[in-house]
A and B are shown apart, each in its own frame.
Chain A
Amino acid sequence: MRYINILVEDLGASQLSYYLSTEINKIHTIRTDITCIVYYHNIHRHCINPLFATMSNVEISGAKDIAIATSINTANKLLEVIGPTKKFYYIWNLEWQGLQQSYYTALLELLHKPELSIITRSESHAALLYNNFNRKPDLIFDNFQLEKLI
């Protein structure tokens, strides 16, 4: 059995939650050797009925195999966990655009951590990521198409 652990801010109504839940539900119907667990930071009402386990991100210390963070906050959290053998940061939003403080050097350090592989949603996001942080993504796929990762 292989595990895919995904860290999100919440599973409330959002494009991220919708695609994440849809794709994991789909994976679970076609692959029985994979278990996906979603760890949330804030509890919310699910936007789609999940056919997978969800739990608070304080439980992430027990995660193993693959772990995917979906925000700067969860990526920092993921770096503190020693269980997963492969760590990804799926850049869902260009979050740095909305930040006004001195985020740049902190984010630069985060994106250049050797243990963190980067996934972007599109070629245009990849171009902007390289332009700003001199970091090329390891994978590019949109809307949580997890079969590309598997």
Chain B
Amino acid sequence: MRIAGTLDNFGFCNAAKKLGYDWQVINRPLWDIYDEFSPDLWIFHQIDKNIQNFIDKTQIKHITSVGLSLADDVAFSPVPIDNLFKCDIVYIGEYNKLIKQLCYPIGNYHIKVYNPNWGMPQNVGKLSIDNVNKLLCSSKMVITDELHLAMNALCGGNPTVAIGRFWPNSDMFFCENIESLKRAINSILNWTSETKRDYVSKCYSTISSMTYINFLKSIL
């Protein structure tokens, strides 16, 4: 099975390699890839006019990844705690006023923020995907504002709290204000490892089918 995808489809690339499929990055003219690689499936991020023309002429099997919320359980999996990355909370997501209130000097939590575009001292800048996974697994809990980030964090076995506008499953903590967020944090930080495991498995059970691997299997 051969799959061609744009560079930003990192999750699909991992899943394809894990399933033993051939992966080709779309980094050349589409017709060249069509002639030389003959993909069975094309994965685009978005479809513009030129790509649409190509699809109309070739009638290729294709999907667009924009708007898909899937978990990358290949890149994100449980790893041992790394003391260099150890912390209480990791926030991964866009700028958020609630998170600002947790950070020193307003708040007093040991929090690391993973968002290269958010200029604040707690930010850890850009990290490789392996180090992001280490960072998530070395923290006691993860806060996020997007569904696919929450799913990735859960793949690593991390208790996750949602603060975004996405609709999490009913088992997941969903906090809309600072009081409920602090309550959730203080509760999770005092959990035993069994309680954490139960929470993660409950949250993960409803999204376990929403992985890149399962998605590829279902369409191929």
A residues sitting closer than 8 Å to B (CB atoms) are: 94, 96-97, 99-105, 108, 112, 124, 127-128, 130-134
Contacts and interface: CB of A to CB of B under 8 A. Distances in A.
Given A105-B131, A124-B105, A134-B84, A97 B119 contact: yes
B127 A104 contact: yes
Contacts of B86: 134
A133 B138 CA distance: 13
Interface string B156-175: 00000000000000000000
A131 B125 contact: no
A132 B104 contact: no
28 contacts: A96-B121, A100-B125, A100-B126, A101-B125, A101-B126, A102-B125, A102-B126, A102-B127, A104-B126, A104-B127, A105-B127, A105-B131, A108-B84, A112-B84, A124-B104, A124-B105, A127-B104, A128-B121, A128-B122, A131-B87, A131-B104, A131-B110, A131-B111, A131-B122, A132-B112, A132-B121, A132-B124, A133-B84
Given A94-B121, A102-B125, A127-B104, 8 more contacts: A96-B121, A97-B119, A101-B126, A103-B125, A104-B127, A132-B122, A134-B86, A134-B87
Classify chain B's interface size. 20 to 34
Contacts, number: 53
B192 to A, nearest CB: 24
Contacts of A130: 110
A85 B132 CA distance: 36
B50 interface: no
B125 A128 contact: no
A102 B128 CA distance: 8
Nearest to B110: A131
Nearest to B127: A104
B145 to A, nearest CB: 21
A47 B119 CA distance: 31
B135 to A, nearest CB: 9
B218 interface: no
A124 to B, nearest CB: 7
B85 interface: yes
A100 B116 contact: yes
